Amino acid sequence: MNGRSAMRLARLQDVLAGGGTIHLSEAAKLCGVSEMTIRRDVAASDGAMTFLGGHLMMADNPQFAPVYDLDEQQGSHYLAKQRLCQGAASFIAEGDTLFIDCGTTLMPLLGMLDEFEELTVVTYALNVANAVGSLSNVRLVLLGGLYHHSSQSFGSGEMYDAVRRLGINKAFISAAGVDLARGVSCFHFHEVAPKQAALETALYRILVVDASKLGIVRPALFAELDAFDVVVTDAKAAPRLNARVGSEHQPPRVMVA
Amino acid sequence: MNGRSAMRLARLQDVLAGGGTIHLSEAAKLCGVSEMTIRRDVAASDGAMTFLGGHLMMADNPQFAPVYDLDEQQGSHYLAKQRLCQGAASFIAEGDTLFIDCGTTLMPLLGMLDEFEELTVVTYALNVANAVGSLSNVRLVLLGGLYHHSSQSFGSGEMYDAVRRLGINKAFISAAGVDLARGVSCFHFHEVAPKQAALETALYRILVVDASKLGIVRPALFAELDAFDVVVTDAKAAPRLNARVGSEHQPPRVMVA
DNA sequence: CATCTAGTGTTATTTTTCTAACATTTTTTT
DNA sequence: AAAAAAATGTTAGAAAAATAACACTAGATG
């Protein structure tokens, strides 16, 4: 590899550093050389960059890693979540300050935020931050702390105060378990503080769960069901949630998405 | 789109929900139908999924977005940074707690961290967090706050105290300008607090800059040059840095990478 | 029961991408 | 400055993917 080749590679890698792809023809135009030269440069890049169907990208881009172990990831329900989030999104209004919980349930919601002029999102999840960080119309506040791989989120107990200092408008909370008697729960204890703080400060509290979570209790209980104003769920779970009787508390409204 | 088509799409979207790609042939095998049927399903998915060179992926994958505005990111020097970071990495020892600054200069350093058994990284940059978050051998602490698109980093003045509560071992700092008289500077004022706090608490302070920064003063001055123990730089900048005379302070050692 | 139709499979054609070979230009060496 | 080497460009052919056309199948309809 010579100097100019290295220069071109560096230039392309700069362009692609934040992820993304560039077509071979664009790359060639950008560097002012032929497509063949770009191909040769990439071949000499020692595996740093690769082509995928004519599109150039950084090889370590995790988003392009082929999925091989197919059996592993079954059981999550992308389309169901998409539908739930469509329901949840109907509560968002222009200018809102939203608290977005960690997990995968609420991820589709983030793709629906670009329809608003101006929003503020508060989160403690890395995946949420990444999705929101690319939106120019959304002000992002990330609550930091120690990173937990398991939930792709940050923080622990101290986060409680940090959340309460923020003027959160509507809180979108997800959960790993919802039990009518025991309450709402998640897997990890470090999620309890931010969730509880959000529930206390938010003006409007929205629980987003699908039917598979119903009747389940997970290690970290963080709220009673009636701590929420609305539960957004699917048709399967709605009747069981509505069947609650004799509660002296004001129950959350059940919304079927 | 019929029921079975929807089922197949949901299955594929489950598999690809966390990013990643699957080849058309694999997808066909997985669903037990022909490749043509998968193509038709995807075409009917209303833009939710796309092909890129025979590989199937979610269309809203942010990493998939082609890079068009090429002119913007010019002028940075990937290979030069790689070399600088190799020099910088030589200061890292097993078990260290590192402060990693924002910007692109130190990104190559993160790829070198997987050689250690156990490290802790403290940062306030989203791109750093993403890179480190995928390493299982590194404990990650992210300093949160308001997100700044310009530098892909979080926070402001309050961060000062947050940094000082952490036991930072070695601080790797980057800069947009280094002037022998005026000191070391960056573009954005919100970077000043974390940088200064890291300089005050860290046991060992390493400035990593290439020659293009030398003699330049940026809006936000954050330190004198002799606040650092070492300056890792390239051969072009080294002589000019070493030419300093008559300083009553202990000057930083200049390391050529 | 025959017919229709949506869904799927098969085959063929076009387009695009990939690879290899060779020609040309530029740089380095003698 | 000539020769050699390296880098780049051009062209041609092979491979792969995208598209289109047509054939088959199973459930729905009259």
Mean of pLDDT over chain B: 83
Query: How close does chain A come to B148, measured CA to CA in Å?
Result: 8
- Hey, CA dihedral for A116, A117, A123, A128, is it positive or negative? positive
Residue ranges per structural domain of chain A = 3-64, 78-256
Contact A182, A219 (CB under 8 A): no
Residue of B41, B58, B78 best to disrupt the A interface, most CBs of A under 10 A: B78
Q: What is the torsion angle, in degrees rounded to the nearest 10, for the CA atoms of residue B68, residue B70, residue B71 and residue B72?
A: 90
Q: Which fold has domain A3-64?
A: Arc Repressor Mutant, subunit A (1.10.10)
pLDDT exceeds 90 at position B231: yes
Contact A14, B74 (CB under 8 A): yes
CATH class in words for B76-256 = alpha beta
Kindly report, residue by residue over A212-233, the tens digit of the pLDDT: 899 999 999 999 999 999 999 9
Task: Say yes or no for a CB contact (<8 Å) between B9 and A136.
Answer: no
Residue reference for tokens 């963080």: A222
pLDDT exceeds 70 at position A161: yes
Percent of chain B with pLDDT over 90: 38
Residues of B in contact with A105 (CB under 8 A): none
Instruction: Output the pLDDT for position A224.
Output: 94
Mention every residue, 6+ apart, whose C-beta is less than 8 A from residue B140. A146, A147, B120, B121, B123, B129, B132, B133
| Distance measured from the CA of protein residue B20 to the C1' of nucleotide D25, in angstroms | 35
| Distance measured from the CA of protein residue A2 to the C1' of nucleotide D6, in angstroms | 9
| Distance measured from the CA of protein residue A4 to the C1' of nucleotide C28, in angstroms | 15
**Rounded distance, CA B141 to CA B122, Å?**
5
Q: Which amino acid is at B203?
A: L
pLDDT exceeds 80 at position A68: no
Please say whether the structural domain A78-256 has been given the CATH code 3.40.50.300.
no
Q: Looking at strand D, which nucleotides approach a protein CB closer than 7 A? A: 6-11, 16-21
Kindly report, residue by residue over B69-125, the tens digit of the pLDDT: 333 333 345 567 778 888 999 999 999 999 999 987 888 788 788 789 999 999 999
Indicate the residue of A63, A132, A134 with minimum beta-carbon distance to B20. Answer: A63
Task: Say yes or no for a CB contact (<8 Å) between A10 and B77.
Answer: yes
Kindly report, residue by residue over B150-175, the tens digit of the pLDDT: 888 998 777 888 888 899 999 999 99
Instruction: Output the pLDDT for position B75.
Output: 37
Inter-chain contacts counted by CB atoms under 8 A, chains A and B: 186
